[in-house]
Amino acid sequence: MEKSPATSSDVSQSSNANMWDWRAIILTIALVEISSSRLVITEWVPYLYFTQTISLAGVLLGFALGYSTFSRKAATRIAIGYSLILLPAQLLNAVERTDWVWTDLVTLFNRLFTSLAQFIKGQPVYDQLFFISLVTAGYWIIGISAGYWLTRHRDFLNVILPSCLAMLVVQVFDPTESRRMWALAFYLFAALLLLGRLYFLENQIYWKKTRFLLTAETINNLERGALTVAAVTIFVAWSIPGWIKQIKPAARAWQDFSEPILERLSDAVSALESPYAGRNAGGDFYSGELSLGQQAAVGDTPVFFVTVKESEFVPIRNYWKGRMYDLYINGRWTTLSDASDPFLPDTDELTVEYPENRNEMEFTFTNNATSQSLLYAPAEAVWVSREGTITSTEVSPTLRDVTAWNASPNLPSGGRYTVRTLIADPTQEELRLAGTEYPEWVTERYLQVPENVAPALRILAEEITAQYDNPFDKTQAITAYLRNEIEYTTEITDTPPENRDPVLWVLFDYKKGFCMYYASAETLMLRSIGIPARMAVGFAEGTFNEIEERYIVTFEDAHAWPEVYFPGIGWVEFEPTGNQLPIERAPTRLDINADATPTLS
């Protein structure tokens, strides 16, 4: 009987000898790095490059352990030891550092344990550090596994399966960019070359025993054949998704299998699907830019608590504002230009427009979230008890248009700060009579509408407001329209067509959305008809606990709303979002009830 290319004894003999082949090693490194690069190019959150550096370190450690004479148990203990050192050292780069490494480690693990508890309870996790830690640890294990299985066992499947599965999971959550599919092509190409190389190494023993003449030309022919097979296989693989879609039972079986897994994993990646905790936000909910996203914040975990100092004045509605945006482009809000200046509570205090028409109040905030710098306060804040910075634009030598307040150093969990604010309380009559004599700094900054969305928004806004002759009634009409016509949902399950602005898509086609879409639509519609408006984000009022005499503000209270400018009054909040109670302002000054209680949202 003719012998097979490699007998079982030959394979066993070759497998027992630990392998060190530079071509196979380079291909294995390439596979792991291509897989981690596929995650990095999503730009979901900052610090994804950790996966590249940690996976490279892991695969090198795996090579060393696999090539060594250590037993599997000893190699496992060594890998665990390196993990306990290298992983925290890498993750510390994602938290704000102090002069004490121990303090930084405590902060790191506190954040991770809090996020893990939320994940175990089935709650969404919005701290980006949790996701960064998961993928960093995951690629560390992938790297060690690939290196170990290559040099110790020459096991092709165990070398490629972990990194391949990780790559496919990323593709499931990031399917929209077709150009990124080329990463999968490169991966398959490298995997097939590695398969060919391992096959060649496994059969070398047999060829030598049978004195098979293996010339340089033969080796070149084998390599060219491997390249050809790899290219053909990749072409076939690119056609498979289309074939599977045509086989309905197979497609249905895959959906039934994958849907429960993806639903469970979605809690861990809530920071990616949500517009909150943006790419530069660190531990904060809002960063310098805001994508509208596909999912609203949910969950009853408290973010902070608010105690109100007793006052004769009671606001009609409290909004805890964290940041405002002025520039909208393609589903993303940013701030055009602002300067950051230090704020010292012992010496500094801001001024606001029209202070004589405002009511002074004092609030104390207790942070319950992880370390954060962004400070929340009702508009307009003039003093904060924490040192930090103010992001703002100078309007005049005595007036600043404030975008955000930030504490420095960051506010820890349990940290407190006090805010003094001057709150406007205009009546409907005062807002109607405010007129349209807007300051130049307001019209220059708060009337921007992208050219690709302005015509459609203007036509709709003019149709809604045709019967009104003042900005207040026009704003009220647009607010009512959005509340009535757009259905509130916490999740956008579809995606807008290519080259279709998401605000237009929600407003005219999808007809469903959450606060980001309501507020964006109203802000842009008002701007399109010449009424200055801006996008404010932060938290709704929350729930007032009468026993503790404080507001409890949770994740699900995260909110966005439009602010509209009225001459002689300043910025005024409106509420177009369907799941929030409407704001009912007093018709005239005589109708204001001084004993009114807060309206909870």
What CATH number is attached to the domain comprising 316? Answer: 3.10.620.30
Q: Which residue range(s) make up the domain with 17? A: 8-265
| 42 found inside a domain | yes
Helix, strand, coil percent values for the chain (each to nearest 5): 50, 20, 35
Number of domains the chain contains: 2
| 274 found inside a domain | no
Q: Tell me: do 240 and 302 sit in the same domain.
A: no
Is 282 or 163 the better-scoring residue by pLDDT? 163
| 128 found inside a domain | yes
Residue 523 has pLDDT above 90, yes or no: yes
Residue 351 has pLDDT above 50, yes or no: yes
Mean pLDDT across 520-547: 96
Residue 277 backbone zone (phi > 0: left; psi -120 to 50: alpha; other: beta): left
Mean pLDDT across 411-439: 93
| 278 found inside a domain | no
Q: Tell me: do 220 and 315 sit in the same domain.
A: no
Q: Tell me: do 258 and 301 sit in the same domain.
A: no
pLDDT per residue over 165-175, tens digit each?
998 888 877 76
For 342-380, letters b (16+ CB in 10 Å) and e give: ebeeeeeebebbeeeebeebebebbbbbbbbbbbbbbbb
| 280 found inside a domain | no
Q: Tell me: do 412 and 487 sit in the same domain.
A: yes
Q: Tell me: do 450 and 586 sit in the same domain.
A: yes
Q: Say how far apart CA 590 and CA 439 lie, in whole Å.
A: 29
Residue 46 has pLDDT above 80, yes or no: no
Work out the pLDDT band at 189, boundaries 50, 70, 90.
confident
Q: Tell me: do 396 and 310 sit in the same domain.
A: yes
Is 357 or 151 the better-scoring residue by pLDDT? 151
Residue 259, pLDDT score: 56
Residue 312, pLDDT score: 85
Provide the pairing of β-strand 399-411 with 388-396. antiparallel
Mean pLDDT across 377-385: 95
Work out the pLDDT band at 571, boundaries 50, 70, 90.
very high
Q: Tell me: do 68 and 156 sit in the same domain.
A: yes
Q: Say how far apart CA 351 and CA 409 lie, in whole Å.
A: 24
CA atoms within 13 A on the CB side of 335: 19
Q: Say how far apart CA 539 and CA 318 lie, in whole Å.
A: 9
| 487 found inside a domain | yes
Instruction: State both tokens at 286.
Output: 């809002």
pTM exceeds 0.75, yes or no: no
| 287 found inside a domain | no
Measured at the CA of 569, the angle between CA 567 and CA 572, to 5 degrees, comes to 105
Q: Tell me: do 179 and 116 sit in the same domain.
A: yes
Residue 36, pLDDT score: 93
| 345 found inside a domain | yes
Mean pLDDT across 344-368: 92
Look at 83-92, 184-193, 418-427 and tell me which has the smallest mean pLDDT. Answer: 184-193
Look at 80-94, 132-146, 167-181, 476-490 and tell me which has the smallest mean pLDDT. Answer: 167-181
Instruction: State both tokens at 232.
Output: 């053909």
Q: Say how far apart CA 228 and CA 224 lie, in whole Å.
A: 6
Residue 267, pLDDT score: 54
Residue 15, pLDDT score: 41
Q: Which of 440, 384, 431 is nearest to 408 (CA)?
A: 384
Q: Tell me: do 199 and 338 sit in the same domain.
A: no
Q: Tell me: do 62 and 204 sit in the same domain.
A: yes
Beta-carbon count within 10 A of 442 CB: 18
Look at 115-119, 144-148, 305-309, 582-586 and tell me which has the smallest mean pLDDT. Answer: 115-119
Mean pLDDT across 197-208: 68
Beta-carbon count within 10 A of 34 CB: 20
pLDDT-above-90 percentage for the chain: 52
Q: Say how far apart CA 168 and CA 350 lie, in whole Å.
A: 52
Q: Tell me: do 306 and 260 sit in the same domain.
A: no
pLDDT per residue over 55-70, tens digit each?
999 999 999 999 999 9
Q: Tell me: do 299 and 206 sit in the same domain.
A: no
Residue 261, pLDDT score: 52
